[in-house]
Copies of this chain bind each other. A is one copy, B any other.
């Protein structure tokens, strides 16, 4: 059913007309106690929506929309392993990866929790052997570094999490090669010692172009750097479902850590794809990360809609996107360790919900995922916040704050928090011409200094960044993305839009190398570019 035909959607449309013409200040005047009332807690996180352009009535109708759209039923369908990824006929069970060991989710007679626990046990055992020095390289030296070769979901999660938990790294030093650009491997291998480097090849199918190209390149690097006839396999591990292809590459079955078709790439950081994280931060920190995810899973599955963080976060997203027509969403972590969170969330949200057709194949009549972007605060304040405050097009922001720092020094953390709250306040209220006049600003500068405000933002806070709070944060965004997808009526778990470009690229390679000449199937503008690039490459 088209979501726009629901009575709750239509009521929201009516609210939106008023909301678009009124200012957050009006909302505040009608109900000044927003700070004490508009927030909710779960799994160690607080979501504070007091600065959103959402009245009590709007929130009530948003919750009605969630109800009308059957969020609770959809959630149960996901958690219990129904094949909600309909276009690929798959279950969606990243929650099974971090379920309690005694839980059980059976799909086609297989208990997915048991399977997950078995792989997790193998990862744990392997990590302990590596970190204790029982598992060594071909020349008997202990491993000091781990290189994860993967792209997309096999890269962004491990990168983000190892960066976020950087000060907990007591294990191997992690490195990540993702881009097919040979520069990436060149730079990342520089300074590494093949004798002490463990290499993880992370590809579900073991056929991803970029990953396999880099895997071959790194295997060659190992071969060149180790004595002849060394056991290169002692340096290789596969994170993959394709045991046969991994074996063909020279990786024995006991060094293949598997996952399953019910784990999407962008939801896989809690699976074997997280092995680089475990090797870097240790087994117990990784388990704490999973526990944080699990606590948010339980909160999401059990809290009523009005008190449910992922549900309310999703509803705010829908309100801003579909009713206030705000085309982008900035994620601004006031925590330097989270500097790669926006890139991680770009994949999570835009690959999940950047869709144009409903499950039935009909084009949706509404906007789906906004563009997500961001950089850590306070850095962004000295850059793009100018546009957030005074641009012509509003941006909806998520501001992430921790009440404590992992390293406080000279009370700089208080300045950090003050800046986060100040930005949120100025986004909401702005600064009017009359305030500027009252402050004695030169008349001809007043209009230049006016800030319209009315920029909605959500504050998300937790006590301190730990593996647990990080896990809960990731699961919060995962489930909010799912709920948005259900409301928009799309399948958040396929990604048909990324396939065709790969096919086209494969066909173009021989024309670029000059092994073949573009045929008539190649558009004129592409073959013109190929000719120009080739002639430039060959010029002096």
Q: Which of A154-181 contact B (CB under 8 A)?
A: 155-156, 166-167, 178-181
Q: Does chain B have a CB within 8 A of A288?
A: no
Which residue on chain B has the smallest CB distance to residue A374? Answer: B373
Query: Would you call B87 and A445 a contact (CB within 8 A)?
Result: yes
> Among the listed stretches A61-69, A118-126, A309-317, A532-540, which one makes contact with chain B, having 4 or more residues with CB under 8 Å of it?
A532-540
Q: Does chain B have a CB within 8 A of A73?
A: no
Q: Does chain B have a CB within 8 A of A370?
A: yes
Q: Which of A14-59 contact B (CB under 8 A)?
A: 28, 32-36, 38-39, 46, 48, 50-51
Produce 1/0 per residue, A362-390, CB < 8 A to B: 11101111111101111101111111111
A452 touching B356 in the complex, CB below 8 Å, given contacts A415-B180, A529-B35: yes
| Smallest CB separation, A55 vs chain B (Å) | 14
Query: Would you call B390 and A355 a contact (CB within 8 A)?
Result: yes
* 30 A–B contacts from the bound complex (CB under 8 Å): A28-B525, A35-B526, A35-B528, A36-B524, A38-B525, A50-B529, A179-B379, A181-B416, A187-B336, A217-B412, A354-B390, A357-B448, A361-B444, A373-B373, A381-B498, A381-B502, A387-B497, A389-B501, A390-B497, A403-B536, A419-B501, A422-B505, A424-B526, A425-B525, A426-B501, A428-B523, A448-B496, A449-B496, A451-B497, A459-B529
| Smallest CB separation, A351 vs chain B (Å) | 4
Query: Would you call A410 and B354 a contact (CB within 8 A)?
Result: no
Q: Does chain B have a CB within 8 A of A262?
A: no
A152 to B367 CA separation, bound complex (whole angstroms): 33
Which residue on chain B has the smallest CB distance to residue A444? Answer: B361
A160 to B463 CA separation, bound complex (whole angstroms): 33
| Smallest CB separation, A156 vs chain B (Å) | 7
A523 touching B429 in the complex, CB below 8 Å, given contacts A187-B166, A373-B373, A393-B371: yes
| Smallest CB separation, A32 vs chain B (Å) | 6
Which residue on chain B has the smallest CB distance to residue A187? Answer: B166
Q: Does chain B have a CB within 8 A of A226?
A: no
Q: Does chain B have a CB within 8 A of A408?
A: yes
Query: Would you call B371 and A186 a contact (CB within 8 A)?
Result: no
Task: Tally A residues with Cβ within 8 Å of B.
Answer: 158
Which residue on chain B has the smallest CB distance to residue A534? Answer: B403
A412 to B446 CA separation, bound complex (whole angstroms): 55
Q: Which of A449-465 contact B (CB under 8 A)?
A: 449-452, 459, 461-463
Q: Does chain B have a CB within 8 A of A138?
A: no
Which residue on chain B has the smallest CB distance to residue A528? Answer: B35
Query: Would you call A418 and B350 a contact (CB within 8 A)?
Result: no
- CB neighbours of A423 from chain B (8 A): 501, 505
- CB neighbours of A413 from chain B (8 A): 181-182
Query: Would you call A385 and B501 a contact (CB within 8 A)?
Result: yes
Query: Would you call A419 and B180 a contact (CB within 8 A)?
Result: yes
Q: Does chain B have a CB within 8 A of A279?
A: no
- CB neighbours of A318 from chain B (8 A): none
- CB neighbours of A1 from chain B (8 A): none
> Among the listed stretches A208-216, A295-303, A478-486, which one makes contact with chain B, having 4 or more residues with CB under 8 Å of it?
A208-216
Q: Choose among B371, B383, B497, B532 the residue that contacts A350 (Cβ–Cβ < 8 A).
A: B383
Q: Does chain B have a CB within 8 A of A401?
A: yes
Q: Which of A201-247 contact B (CB under 8 A)?
A: 209-210, 213-214, 216-217
Which residue on chain B has the smallest CB distance to residue A334? Answer: B181
- CB neighbours of A424 from chain B (8 A): 526, 529
Which residue on chain B has the smallest CB distance to residue A428? Answer: B525
Which residue on chain B has the smallest CB distance to residue A539? Answer: B463
- CB neighbours of A411 from chain B (8 A): 513
Q: Does chain B have a CB within 8 A of A437?
A: no
Q: Does chain B have a CB within 8 A of A392?
A: yes
Q: Does chain B have a CB within 8 A of A431?
A: yes
A156 to B382 CA separation, bound complex (whole angstroms): 10
A444 to B88 CA separation, bound complex (whole angstroms): 11
A533 to B424 CA separation, bound complex (whole angstroms): 15
Produce 1/0 per residue, A457-501, CB < 8 A to B: 001011100000000000000000000000000010011111111
Q: Does chain B have a CB within 8 A of A147?
A: no
Query: Would you call B217 and A183 a contact (CB within 8 A)?
Result: no
- CB neighbours of A494 from chain B (8 A): 448
Query: Would you call A152 and B383 a contact (CB within 8 A)?
Result: yes
A375 touching B346 in the complex, CB below 8 Å, given contacts A410-B213, A421-B529: yes
Q: Choose among B351, B391, B431 the residue that contacts A354 (Cβ–Cβ < 8 A).
A: B391
Q: Choose among B405, B459, B500 the residue that contacts A426 (Cβ–Cβ < 8 A).
A: B500
